[in-house]
Amino acid sequence: MKYIIIDLEEPDNGCEGFMPGEEPMVTLTLKDENGNVSKVRVPDVEAYRLGWDTGSEINSEELNKHVTAC
């Protein structure tokens, strides 16, 4: 299945930052081919490395390699 990223929420931990060992995650809002909307979390560094941004199209195979359910 193919998805389009319709929103991307980046982490904001303010001045506290992240706890040691905590991996920053980004929340992706996705719309599938049938118009269904869902949210998933992926490591921020992976989303950046893969060039995922609002409007990007990704398939379920690629997404499942990196996803953590919301």
Sheet of strand 25-32: strand arrangement: 57-59, 2-9, 25-32, 37-43, 68-69
Count CA within 13 A, CB hemisphere, residue 44.
10
13 pLDDT higher than 80: no
Comparison of pLDDT for 36 and 17, the residue scoring more: 36
Instruction: Check residue 22 and report its DSSP letter.
Output: P
* Two structure tokens written together for 25: 């995650």
pLDDT of residue 10: 82
User: For the chain, how far is it from start to end, CA to CA, in angstroms?
Assistant: 19
